[in-house]
Structures are given as structure tokens and as C-alpha cells.
Structure 1
Amino acid sequence: MGSSGSNISAFPQRGGPSQVGFERREIERILGLYGRMVAAGHWKDYAMDMRPDVAIFAAFRRASERPQIRIEKRPADRNRQGMWSLHGEQGQVLKRGHDLAGILAPVERKLVKLVGD
């Protein structure tokens, strides 16, 4: 404590956010769909993962399985094929796009079929 020099170090700064996340309206839309799929008896659990380059929402039929679907948000792909992607149970890309509504459309169509049966 008796030294006259400063020992304060700044944390290194990076150009962007430390992790990608979902905005409130995005997560509300995703969780709304999730709730309707739970009510239809199709999904039972979900998980979210926020990483430096991607935010992931995964929905499961049972917690012990692979996710039935994964919704990914990758801002780095915004100017290419779009920052949103929908992945199937085997990891295959089912849809890519620039808006969340377009990515959720195939799942919402499936929900209409489930409820209609």
C-alpha cells in the first residue's frame, strides 16, 4: 500500500459483446411457440446456450434425447444467408433466413397439424 505507483489494470476490451443473446421480443416469440408445443404434448424440455458467436435455443421431446429442433442466432452471418437458422434432430439445417418468423414457420405449421389431428 505504501507505493506511490498505480497498480490498476484495465480489463482487455473487445470490439463487440462478449456473447450473443436473444432480444426480449425474440425470446418471447420462441417461448410462445415452445409453450404451444408443450400444450400439444410434443415438447417437454428446453435449453439455451449463449456463446461469443451464437445463441442457441434447443427444444426436446425428452430431456435425455438430442434436441428435436435448434434455433440459432449468428449475427456474423447477418449479411450472408441470414443470422437465423433452424436445425433438425440430426443437426441438419432445415431453414436459414434473415427474420425469426420465417425460421419458426415450419415448426408452427407442424403445430397446426398436431393440434388439428
Structure 2
Amino acid sequence: AVAARAPAQATVAASGPTVVGACPRPGCGGQIFLGRKGYGCSHYKTGCSFVIWKSSLGRTLTDAMVRSLIEKGKTGKLKFKDASGESYEARIALANPNTGELALERE
């Protein structure tokens, strides 16, 4: 049974990075995939500079959050704390679809 699993694991490892969606940069046509430190475009070698860092705005972003950002332009409501420790709700929004720059939209 162990020998039967080994080829399947090798296939999964060889399948490449996790793709979360299409690049939102106008005219790009690349795919956004998870890298070591962030989510970048598969067309980075040909000049696309779109990237969303995994650690952004005090949060560690998930695949689902990034998928929402590139498809809808923002995440669902999230809880944050301000400098004084007060909790508030906000959404992370895609401020610039050319670069992947993010901003908080406070509720």
C-alpha cells in the first residue's frame, strides 16, 4: 500500500504551484499562484509586477482571501485592532490591480 501511494505523492508534488485565479492586471492574462512569500503572476518573467504578499496589513492572507481579492476586489469582513487595542471590522481591498497594492476599507 505504501508503494502505491508514492507515485501519487510524486505526481502532486510535480504538478506545480497552487493557482488561485487569473491575474487582474488589465491585458495580462497570467495566472496568480502561491509562491514562497506571496501570490504572484505567472507572467512575472515578461514584465507583470502584480504581487500580493502573504503577510499584508497585519494579516496572513489565505488562498480564499486572495481569490476574493482578485475576483471581487475585496475580502469579506475581518476583525482588526487599532493602535490602542480597540477592535474594528474592515475589508482588505485591492487598491491597485496593476501592482497588487492593498488597502483597508473600514466598516
Larger helix share, 1 or 2: 1
Q: Same fold (TM over 0.5)?
A: no
TM-score (norm 1): 0.29
Larger strand share, 1 or 2: 2
TM-score (norm 2): 0.30
Where relative contact order (Cα < 8 A, 6+ residues apart) is larger, the structure is 2
Whose Rg is larger? 1
